[in-house]
Structure formats: structure tokens, C-alpha cells
Structure 1
Amino acid sequence: MAQHQIDPDTLPYDPERLPAKPPVSIDTFFSVDLRVGRVLDVEDFPKARKPAWRLTVDFGPHVGVLRTSAQVTNYPKEELLGRTVVGAVNLPPKRIAGFESQCLLMGGLAPDGTVTLLELPGELPPGATVA
């Protein structure tokens, strides 16, 4: 019986193939504003080239509500609604298929690129900073 061979070129985020990035200064690292957010809405995004949701996320009173395109269709809508997430909220907006993505959600990448969103145990309010 032939064993299934996995093509390593189809695993772009395989930790065995990804070298470490060069060092950055602590000031550069801390210039990224990472905040706790709560997903308020999840919409289909049929215009995206890769499967994605359009998410509306509340990042608290000082940041406010931001929208993002996220390639996290491995999560059903119901599992995302109300979920606590971590997002980078001070990156420049990016246009994706005519949609302005205003933040970037944080997650781990499986070797095939599937995103597993970061989880925060306990109950932190939207807008809490991530250190």
C-alpha cells in the first residue's frame, strides 16, 4: 500500500522551514499597539481572493470599533461572535477587495497557513493592552 506523500512546498509556514527573523529593538516591538477586542459581527466576504470573514471588533473606549478581513474561515461565524481576540490596532489600513481592513488579528499559523486565533484565559475587557 503506497503511503501518502506530503509536498513540502504546500506547507509555507512549516516551522522546519522558517528561519528566525532578525532582531528588532525593544522600542520597535513596543510601538505595535496590541489590544484585547471582542468580535461584534461576522460577515461573509465573497470578494476576497482567499476565503475570509469581515469582522467588526470592539477594542474599547480609546480605540473604538474597527473592521478587519481575517482568513479564519476555519472558525464558524457562531464561534467567532463574542469571542475575545488580540489585534494590532495601529497599523495602517489596508484595502482588500474594496474593503478597508483597519486592524490585524493575532494567531498562530499551522504549516498549511491555517490560523488559530490567540486565546486569552479569564475575562479582560475590550481595550486592555497586551504586553
Structure 2
Amino acid sequence: MHLLHAPDAPVADQIAFEDFLKVDIRIGTVVGAEEFPEARKPSLKLRIDFGPAIGVKRSCAQIAALYKPDDLIGRQVAAVVNFPPRQIGKALSEVLTIGFADDQERVVLFSPDVPVPNGARLF
């Protein structure tokens, strides 16, 4: 397992609360998902609706090991919405979908256990 993802990895350096507030993590609903075979690691291309203030954004997520595109439609996921877009091969990823590595290094999505409004911010 990658050292940063390991459950016994050391705690990161302390940051100020103001630094945490700079990371804008929101909930959105997956409205589109497709396979991304050109990616180096098993990935999917997602379209996520973050509500009227942010809109629909694209994300390339390394989640194909556990998730199929059709199973994700309608699912709420968390993502960082204020990172600059990244070019991932031929695709543009506008938000960073958040997950945790399981014991086999597969990404498990982070999402609320009850529905919340699209665009709701983590605090």
C-alpha cells in the first residue's frame, strides 16, 4: 500500500483552521459516468452536479476497481471543487472526487449516509 494511504501512516503536520477552510469540499450527485480505458490506473470519467452555484463538473476518478458506471448514476459523492483543473490524458478533470484506499488499495468513495442538497459544503 502507498505510504500516504496506509492506515498506520503518520499524522500530517498541523495546519491552521483557516488553511482547512481554503479547501472547498462539496457534495454533488453523479449524473454521468463512463469508462476511461486510456487512464494508467482503473478509472472512470464522471459528471457531477453540484447545484446551481457550481453546476455540473467533470472528474477523472480512480474508482473503476470497485464501481461500474451505471451503479454511480444518482449517487452523491464528495469532491474538492476549488483545485485548478488537471489534464488527465485526453480528459480534463475539474474537481477531485474524494475516497479512501481499502486494504487492497482500491478507492472507496466518500459520500454522505443520508441525502444532502447538491453543493452542500463540508465543515
Q: Please indicate, yes or no, whether the TM-score normalized by the shorter chain is above 0.5.
A: yes
Runs of 4+ in 1 over 2 A off after TM superposition: none
Kindly indicate whether the alpha-carbon contact (under 8 Å) linking 1:59 and 1:65 is maintained by their aligned counterparts in 2: yes
Q: CA deviation at 1:111?
A: 3.6
Q: How does 1:33-44 map to 2 (within 5 A)?
A: 33-44=24-35
Q: CA deviation at 1:112?
A: 3.3
Give the one of 72, 76, 95 matched to 1:103: 95
Q: CA RMSD for the aligned pairs?
A: 1.2
Kindly indicate whether the alpha-carbon contact (under 8 Å) linking 1:14 and 1:112 is maintained by their aligned counterparts in 2: no
Find the residue that maps to 1:78 and give its secondary structure: helix
Kindly indicate whether the alpha-carbon contact (under 8 Å) linking 2:35 and 2:69 is maintained by their aligned counterparts in 1: no
- 1:70 paired residue number: 61
Distance 2:71 2:28 in 1: 15
User: Does residue 123 in structure 1 map to residue 115 in structure 2?
Assistant: yes
Unaligned stretches of 5+ in structure 1?
1-10
User: Does residue 87 in structure 1 map to residue 79 in structure 2?
Assistant: yes
Unaligned stretches of 5+ in structure 2?
none
**What's the % identity of the aligned pairs?**
36
Kindly indicate whether the alpha-carbon contact (under 8 Å) linking 1:34 and 1:86 is maintained by their aligned counterparts in 2: yes
Q: How many residues align?
A: 120
Q: How does 1:7-18 map to 2 (within 5 A)?
A: 11-12=1-2, 13-16=5-8, 18=9
Distance 2:43 2:118 in 1: 23
Distance 2:13 2:20 in 1: 12
Distance 2:115 2:38 in 1: 34
Amino acid at match of 1:58: D
Give the one of 11, 31, 52 matched to 1:20: 11
**TM-score, structure 2 as length reference:** 0.91
User: Does residue 29 in structure 1 map to residue 31 in structure 2?
Assistant: no
Distance 2:94 2:86 in 1: 7
Amino acid at match of 2:76: T
Amino acid at match of 2:110: L
Q: CA deviation at 1:79?
A: 1.8
